[in-house]
Structure 1
Amino acid sequence: MKTQHDTLRDTLNELIEINHSRIDGYKKAISDVTQEDLQGLFGSIINESDGFAESLAEYVVKLGGEPSTSSTFLGKVHQVWLDFKAALSSKNRHTILNSCEFGDTQAIKAYDLALEMNELSEPLRALLIVQRTIIAESLDIIRSLMKANTDTKSEIAALDITQ
């Protein structure tokens, strides 16, 4: 029978796997874009997710478990990241940003589910809140880049019409 302790450990391992998948996805994104702004942003996100996974792994060990080292995971989030990686093959800035937005939205949902658990200690809850907040901030940046890209295209189209 699975205990609350086991469920918490499994949930933390799922978050570790999500962060490993973010790392893999953003590494692929870096290799598929030439724009320095995106390369810098994606590199920063990779570093964040690496740190997140390490912090979560410490809690898994404290709970008597073995931290996941996998970058794949079960359920919908797994498919989301597969779709994310496949979409990156187009090397289109908007498509890449759209895929990043979708993947990070799913990561936030996973953190939200974890934060609903009653078994979280206050330090662990605080850690998850901080990590979720940082992912949300990255998502906001991605969305602003998507909007800027769309606005630029609209401006160019308008200028072309007037000439």
Structure 2
Amino acid sequence: MESNKEIISDLNSLVTILNDGKQGYESAAETTNSLELKAVFGKYALERAAYATELKAHIKQHGGNEDDNESGGVLGAIHRGWLDVKHAVTGNSDASLLEAIETGEKSAIEKYDGYIADYTDHADHLALLKKQRDGIQKDLQQLQSLKAQNA
């Protein structure tokens, strides 16, 4: 079983990913002219914020400070910057924007999968992580559908 320090570190890593996603969706909503995509991106930004809040409650249960991680990580900032550049270069194509977001969501799912595999001894986290991972997977499927429509 992992120590509280390791659990807190793992959960903070996921909070960082969720904050990256939230900020990425907010940026995407500002970038697109599509009202449909603005609504979808806004919904997903709120969802990522809610997921982060849930994880922060678990961080606190394990003795961590839930307010330590409010911003995204460096890699997320790089990805958002790349997303902005790609969007500008491709002539503001919603399909390109959705493709870049898809990449971020696939990375988030991979991270969740890794922690889910490591959390067999932590029932309190396993259910939450699976729920959030499944939510991100569902969102990814909708994004892929929207991307096909905008191709």
Q: Compute the TM-score of the two structures, normalised by the length of structure 2.
A: 0.87
Deviation at 1:128, TM superposition (A): 0.5
Q: Does residue 71 of structure 2 align to residue 71 of structure 1?
A: yes
Contact 1:4 1:119 in 2 (8 A): no
1:81-134 residue CA offsets vs partner (Å, 9 max, x unmatched) = 543354344532011000110000001011111111146521311011010001
Report what 1:102 is aligned to: 103
For residues 70-149 of structure 1, the aligned pairs below 5 Å read 70-73=70-73, 79-90=78-89, 91-118=92-119, 120-149=121-150
Q: Compute the TM-score of the two structures, normalised by the length of structure 1.
A: 0.81
Code of the residue aligned with 1:72 in structure 2: it is: G
Change (3 A) 1:146 1:12: same
Report how many aligned residue pairs link the two structures.
Answer: 147
The CA distance in 1 between the partners of 2:62 and 2:87, in whole Å, is: 37
Unaligned runs of 5+ in 2: none
For the aligned residue pairs, the C-alpha RMSD in angstroms reads: 2.0
How much identity, in percent, do the aligned residues show? 22
Contact 2:4 2:63 in 1 (8 A): no
Instruction: Tell which deviates more after alignment, 14-23 or 84-93.
Output: 84-93
Runs (4 or more) in structure 1 with deviation over 2 Å come to: 67-74, 76-91, 118-121
Contact 1:77 1:107 in 2 (8 A): no
For residues 34-73 of structure 1, the aligned pairs below 5 Å read 34-67=33-66, 68-73=68-73
Q: Report SS of the residue matched to 1:116.
A: helix
